[in-house]
Amino acid sequence: MKMSKMYMPTLKEDPSEAEIASHKLLLRSGMIRQLVSGVYSYLPLGYRVIRKVEQIVREEMDVAGSQELLMSPIQPRELWEATGRWANFGPEMFTLLDRNSREFCLGPTHEEYITDLIKNEVKSYKQLPLNLYQIQTKYRDEKRPRFGLMRGREFIMKDAYSFDVDEEAMIRAYDIMWKSYDKAFTRLNLKYKVVEGDTGAMGGRVSHEFMAMSEAGEGFMAYCEACDYAATDEKATVVYNVENSNQEELPLEKVLTENVTTIEGLEDFFKIDKSSFGKALVYSVKGKPLVVVIPGDRELNEIKLENYLEISSHDIEMADEEMIIDITGANKGFTGPVGLKEGTRLLVDSRIKDMKNLIVGGNETDIHLKNVNYGRDFQGEVVEDLLMIRDGDICPKCDEKLKMARGIEVGNIFQLGTKYSEGIGAKYLDENGKEKYFVMGSYGIGITRTVAAIIEQSHDENGIIWPLNVAPYEVIITVINTKDEEQMNLSQNIYDELAKKGVEVLLDDRKERAGVKFNDRDLIGIPIRIVVGKGAADGMVEYSLRKTGEKEDINVNDLIKIIEEEFKNNGMAFKS
Amino acid sequence: MKMSKMYMPTLKEDPSEAEIASHKLLLRSGMIRQLVSGVYSYLPLGYRVIRKVEQIVREEMDVAGSQELLMSPIQPRELWEATGRWANFGPEMFTLLDRNSREFCLGPTHEEYITDLIKNEVKSYKQLPLNLYQIQTKYRDEKRPRFGLMRGREFIMKDAYSFDVDEEAMIRAYDIMWKSYDKAFTRLNLKYKVVEGDTGAMGGRVSHEFMAMSEAGEGFMAYCEACDYAATDEKATVVYNVENSNQEELPLEKVLTENVTTIEGLEDFFKIDKSSFGKALVYSVKGKPLVVVIPGDRELNEIKLENYLEISSHDIEMADEEMIIDITGANKGFTGPVGLKEGTRLLVDSRIKDMKNLIVGGNETDIHLKNVNYGRDFQGEVVEDLLMIRDGDICPKCDEKLKMARGIEVGNIFQLGTKYSEGIGAKYLDENGKEKYFVMGSYGIGITRTVAAIIEQSHDENGIIWPLNVAPYEVIITVINTKDEEQMNLSQNIYDELAKKGVEVLLDDRKERAGVKFNDRDLIGIPIRIVVGKGAADGMVEYSLRKTGEKEDINVNDLIKIIEEEFKNNGMAFKS
């Protein structure tokens, strides 16, 4: 492609709305443009990268025996009602009515749809296992779309679904997908970790997330360097050793704690560590009050809470002052588990049960209670683990200390079981002619998010550093002086020769200063660079790689060989 | 691909809902499935064909210098308001609100969007010409979706947009696209005609449609075999010679025509040819009455009427009885141009002006008027041509007789001019630093409809006959007896050898009767067929092509050469 004809609207400055590198660079390099919040147009250079990432994922899915199809993004409401997910997704879903007032959503995912699709077509165990995938634009009306391609309201995803006869076969399918993802993300040059994930609204018990390591990621993971334990912060099991469980239970005391309403304030007031307190949080769940008590030195994990309650995140919010006053009889800051208004639901993290002589809010303004003990002074629903993991926590597998890191969730895999086949009523006949529900798995890769992750892991202050196999073009030839016939001819010859070999080449023949061309070249991140300047007269060109920047003057006759070598270094070959 | 593992839910019977061959065969061969009316899932075999058609179109677009990008299907209402097309599309558009109650449509096309996209990015004549395209799912909430992929509410389209400095440059871009379409449709093996089209809601003056010849098509075209004139029935200019324009104007007469309300009835009553009558049609246009008078022997062309009125099809309907009585004072069937209620808008086809002594409705129940003459007895807005073309009409270019044929509109190209750049306010600076509106063109190819058109033109009673370059697989190996090790081994060897050469092969290793396999093979239309049966022991296989069916016993050693030859016959080569 001649750059004089290319649509590549680069920007000189970082756009003010962009916070992270991938967002800035995708905008600056003219690869994407925002239409409305969280919705992007993929411009020619950017779309070439997207298509290459798609193709790598497609190849690995095909090798793994998954078959590509394409479903509609439009999905009838009835299907989602059948599994209870219509309400579950709530405002996160774009919905629409057709001219006959039939209601649809724009699919955020396709479990219901595909289960319905195969429902009457796959009838026998002989047709199993089956694994189908698609690469398609998905929709999620995020409350806070942000970070460019990282969290959009519209994004391209590869989603696959497996159908099996039983749990064991499903786990085999799951393992095949896991390996396939490993191969895809390795080919995509990503540094990533596979971590246990929360299954959330998806259902099923087991899931894993593929997290590309990045400080720009919105995901947190806890991992152990001594063993292979790794989980998202939402999922990670918190080991919390109660130190004083053998202490004697002391008599309950009321303490005047005027205006002391925070854990920090109490620490100060009582001159005692946070871990001696019981922290009570008040929520409104579908309009009803809920009090949760956890150790004072920890944060509540809302995902664990939602999972326990079997609700979705838009069913729950912090209670307002009025509700707090109603159930405690006290101002905010003095809530505790003892003496709540009758009928108030109370959840207790299991560790609270063993902690002796807690200090908690007194349900009376300016009052706290000392020496409060579970069983003797209050009771509630005990929940195994409602705590958020943190750096330095004990590994639940090997007792070493966990580390925390941030990552970008580029893939996820779910063992769904029969949630969807039961909801939709999709059955097959087994060897004995007995009807059984399909046992399913579902597997996603965020294509556009992967593009962002690659950039987060591979860029410098001048721009993107594309791996060769996903670069929009593989080679760029910069002509220093386009008025110099010798330079233009040599450039054209190199261009033609490379194009003939199926190499994707850009020829920067724009009538711009060399500095502008070099800046754009760095910005858009083309891996292999050739500069044709004064040396053209002697058949000499400058050769360098984007990733090292080391320049070398080479004879044009050696060029093809050197480039071919670089292709080999990247596990690639010329196409023709 | 081994067919024992392939998801290919074929049907033995024609589905009752399908009327035309492509719809029946796509369903029967397990290539598509309907989700809801007019919305389909593309199953693995079908999606392979779609992707191949996409790729051929993509290659021709790239060669023509168009650059691929991908825009969002979601488009904000404001953009469409800016060009007046929001109301224009009306109920044909799927619309939705996001969580902030902002209104969007699912794009039926992208003129507004792309004009807005380049608006602030392309600023100078130096950046022109520019041509951008995408391949994407489009939405149109059709009143009567039908015929499978022929007229869906969702369909895959390639749409391209050109931006130029002036009319002349736009015409150059238009011609390039025209040639590119010729190349694409020729590669796709379609028999087609390029015909003048109506620009309709798209705007601009000139457009052409690429019509695949087919009796199943919904489009009608008039064409001349003597010259190159060809146009859609909506667009074709009607040449209508008024025979009696020199006749003397006779005195107006009232005639009692009790219960005679149709042209046929009048013909009978007056014993005179239809062409002597003036036919008055009453419409309600946005709730207001409109009377149109045309020659009694012709049909009105509603598209020409809508274009003249600058309205869209959902702004107009036949008037009801009440409206007719109100403006004529008479029952339905007696409407005429003379003595309509004051203020009633009256359109007159230009031919009516020259026709002498017409018979028309009397605007009085059971009364017609004889010897009515334009100018003397009534006046109205004279419109050049409101008539529908018909077989045998005179060619407007060469005076020969026109023929009519049906076709499937697989592509269209539009010279848009500045309608969209003016609406959106998209300007560039010319050589003199003066702001000017981009002069645009827009160019569509219906990808999924093209798939249907290929089938309509290429099938027999047993199934689809795919051209080699769009077939889901190129070669199929049918194993007669899968329990015979020799047959299985030989099949596997052929399969491996072909796969190594990049040939897309199906191996029918299913434990089915040979008859079932042969039926499926014909149904799904794989072009090159190999049968491995008893001859396997002697290294002999049966070879045939789907299109001829002629069988040949050949030695397995000659197979690759013969298949390679067949690839060459189709202008193709092995991939590796």
pLDDT tens column, B459-506: 999 999 999 999 999 999 999 999 999 999 999 999 999 999 999 999
Query: What pLDDT is recorded for position B224?
Result: 96
Measure in Å the smallest separation between the Cα of A32 and chain B Cα atoms: 10
Give me the DSSP letters along B417-456.
ETHHHHHHT-EEE-TTS-EEEPEEEEEEEEHHHHHHHHHH
Closest CA to A563 of A518, A503, A506: A503
Query: What pLDDT is recorded for position B424?
Result: 97
pLDDT tens column, A168-227: 999 999 999 999 999 999 999 999 999 999 987 787 889 999 999 999 999 999 999 999
Give me the DSSP letters along A154-186.
EEEEEEEEEEESSHHHHHHHHHHHHHHHHHHHH
Identity of the amino acid at B246:
N
**Domains of chain A, with CATH numbers?**
3-191+420-456 (3.30.930.10), 253-383 (3.90.960.10), 473-569 (3.40.50.800)
Measure in Å the smallest separation between the Cα of B30 and chain A Cα atoms: 10
Angle between helices A44-63 and A167-187 (to 10 degrees): 140
Instruction: With CB atoms and an 8 Å threshold, state whether A154 touches B74.
Output: yes
Which of A7, A36, A68 shows the shortest C-beta gap to B67? A7
Measure in Å the smallest separation between the Cα of A122 and chain B Cα atoms: 8
Closest CA to B190 of B403, B411, B366, B42: B411
For residues A415-428, give the mean pLDDT.
97
Instruction: With CB atoms and an 8 Å threshold, state whether A141 touches B74.
Output: no
What is the band of A271 on the pLDDT scale with cuts at 50, 70, 90? very high
pLDDT at residue B199 is higher than 90? no
Task: Give CA–CA dist B282/B33, Å, rounded.
Answer: 42
Contacts with B98 from chain A: Cβ below 8 Å: 94, 141, 153
pLDDT tens column, B242-267: 988 899 999 999 999 999 888 899 99
Asked if residue A185 lies in contact with residue A191, where contact means CB atoms within 8 angstroms, the answer is: no
Task: Give CA–CA dist B222/B401, Å, rounded.
Answer: 10
Instruction: With CB atoms and an 8 Å threshold, state whether B39 touches A9.
Output: no
Instruction: With CB atoms and an 8 Å threshold, state whether B41 touches A153.
Output: no
Contacts with A96 from chain B: Cβ below 8 Å: 94-96, 106
Instruction: With CB atoms and an 8 Å threshold, state whether B74 touches A47.
Output: no
Q: Dig out the tokens for B541 from the structure.
A: 């296989």
| Residues 73-132, chain A, touching B (beta carbon < 8 A) | 73-76, 91, 94-96, 98-99, 102, 106, 113, 117-118, 121-122, 130, 132
Q: In a 3-state reduction of DSSP, which class is residue A295? A: strand
Among chain A residues, the shortest Cα distance to B119 is held by A9
Contacts with B149 from chain A: Cβ below 8 Å: none
pLDDT at residue B201 is higher than 80? no
Which of B67, B121, B141 shows the shortest C-beta gap to A99? B141
Instruction: With CB atoms and an 8 Å threshold, state whether A98 touches B94.
Output: yes
Span of A196-205, A360-369, B387-396, B420-429 with lowest mean pLDDT: A196-205
pLDDT tens column, A274-322: 999 999 999 999 999 999 999 999 999 999 999 999 998 889 999 999 9
Instruction: With CB atoms and an 8 Å threshold, state whether A143 touches B73.
Output: no
- Does ipTM exceed 0.90? yes
pLDDT at residue A3 is higher than 80? yes
Residues 6+ apart with CB under 8 A from A291: A280, A281, A282, A283, A327, A335, A337, A340, A344, A345, A346, A347, A380
Mutate to test the interface with B, among A37, A41, A512 (most CBs of B within 10 A): A41
Measured torsion, CA atoms of residues A309, A312, A318, A323, in degrees rounded to the nearest 10: -60
Query: What pLDDT is recorded for position B203?
Result: 78
pLDDT at residue B98 is higher than 90? yes
Mutate to test the interface with B, among A49, A59, A74 (most CBs of B within 10 A): A74
Mutate to test the interface with A, among B70, B473, B482, B574 (most CBs of A within 10 A): B70
pLDDT at residue B74 is higher than 90? yes
Q: pTM for this structure?
A: 0.94
pLDDT tens column, A321-344: 999 999 999 999 999 999 999 999
pLDDT at residue B358 is higher than 90? yes
Instruction: With CB atoms and an 8 Å threshold, state whether A69 touches B143.
Output: no
Mutate to test the interface with A, among B41, B50, B66, B447 (most CBs of A within 10 A): B41
Closest CA to A237 of A358, A342, A387: A387
Query: What pLDDT is recorded for position A60?
Result: 98
Q: What percent of chain A has pLDDT over 90?
A: 95
Query: What pLDDT is recorded for position B202?
Result: 79
pLDDT tens column, A442-458: 999 999 999 999 999 99
Mean pLDDT of chain B: 96
Instruction: With CB atoms and an 8 Å threshold, state whether A41 touches B7.
Output: no
For residues A550-567, give the mean pLDDT.
97
Instruction: Kindly list the distances between the CA atom of residue B543 and the CA atoms of B462, B509, B520, in Å, as whole numbers in the listed order.
Output: 18, 17, 17
Measure in Å the smallest separation between the Cα of B424 and chain A Cα atoms: 14
Which of A67, A76, A94 shows the shortest C-beta gap to B36? A76
Query: What pLDDT is recorded for position A312?
Result: 87
Q: Dig out the tokens for A312 from the structure.
A: 């979705």
pLDDT tens column, A342-358: 999 999 999 999 999 99
Number of other residues whose CB lies within 10 A of the CB of residue A339 = 16
Asked if residue B471 lies in contact with residue B566, where contact means CB atoms within 8 angstroms, the answer is: no
Instruction: With CB atoms and an 8 Å threshold, state whether B40 touches A72.
Output: yes
